[in-house]
Amino acid sequence: CDVEKTVTVVFRGSVSGADWVSNVQCNMVDFMLPGFTSDNVDVANGTNYGRVHEGFYGYLFDKNSKGSNGSVKSKGEEIIGMLKADFFDKEEYQDYSLNVTGHSLGGALSTMFAFRAATENDEGGGKYFRSVTNVSFASPFVGDQVFRNRFYDLERNRRIRHLRISNNEDPVPLIPACTLPLPSFSFYKHVGVNIRLYKEGDFLAPSYRRFYPKMGSVAGEGRK
């Protein structure tokens, strides 16, 4: 958008069987960044930012099937490269910001991708993208407490902003609550400012409520 000087990346929700396979892979894997770029670069040599949903991470950052150009680079790293080449490496886009959004599965992917973009550094070690804003809709859980802590760090350093919008009666933002199988499990944690919308006509409920629990807040842990 030239008026607001933003470039927006949008992730869709589930539309295929492969998407649902990703959805149900709810155990956690290390959130290693950058994601897969080539067989000559070991992802394990990157930085670990906690643990995240296995299916979502694989969808966005694992080795991709070979494209028309012969590349097997992960979807997430491919998008980062396109953003740089098509926009942010060009002089006329130097004062543009990056927006990332998505719904349901796309909401979770948008959060992971926004995190990836926020960790991208320029040659001087500063933030590459001037501003990264993530607005997710009906997103399921993405990562664990360590992931949330790293997200807090990015927020404090003004590298990312996240608005997570959910409907009060929608079960999707409540899953997966933890990994399987029981009893050996890890809990998922949400990130960002949550705007929770309530059903119109319920006079006992507000139209919306806003939540952003502080780190270590007992009440916040219950809400998130």
Total Cβ atoms within 10 A of residue 214? 8
Residue-wise pLDDT tens digits, 72-107: 899 999 999 999 999 999 999 999 999 999 999 999
Span 178-189, average pLDDT: 85
Query: 17-24 and 54-61 are packed helices; what angle lies between their axes, rounded to 10 degrees?
Result: 130
Q: What is the mean pLDDT of residues 148-158?
A: 95
Closest listed residue to residue 163, CA positions, set 99, 207, 117, 105: 99
Nearest to 100 by CA among 12, 2, 34, 33: 12
Mean pLDDT to the nearest integer, 57-84: 90
According to the model, what pLDDT value does residue 215 have? 67
Q: What is the mean pLDDT of residues 142-151?
A: 97
Q: Specify the pLDDT at position 218.
A: 47
> Confidence class of residue 214 from pLDDT cuts 50, 70 and 90?
low
Nearest to 172 by CA among 190, 158, 157: 190
What is the phi/psi pair of residue 88, to 5°?
A: -75, -15
How many C-beta neighbours within 10 Å does residue 219 have?
Answer: 10
Distance from C-alpha of 10 to C-alpha of 106, rounded to nearest angstrom: 8
Cβ atoms of 77 and 63 within 8 Å: the answer is no
The reported pTM is 0.91
Q: How far apart are CA 89 and CA 24, in angstroms?
A: 37
The DSSP line for 149-183 is HHHHHHHHTTS-EEEEEEETT-SGGG---B-SSSS
**What is the spatial distance between Cα 57 and Cα 76, in angstroms, rounded to a whole number?**
9
What is the average pLDDT across 176-180?
A: 92
Identify the burial level of 42 via C-beta atoms within 10 angstroms of its C-beta, where 0-12 means exposed, 13-18 middle and 19 or more buried. Answer: exposed
- Single-letter code of the amino acid located at 189: K
Percent of the chain with pLDDT over 70: 92
Confidence of residue 217 (pLDDT cuts 50, 70, 90): low
Tokens of 187: 């809990």
Q: Let me know: does 57 contact 25? Beta carbons within 8 Å.
A: no
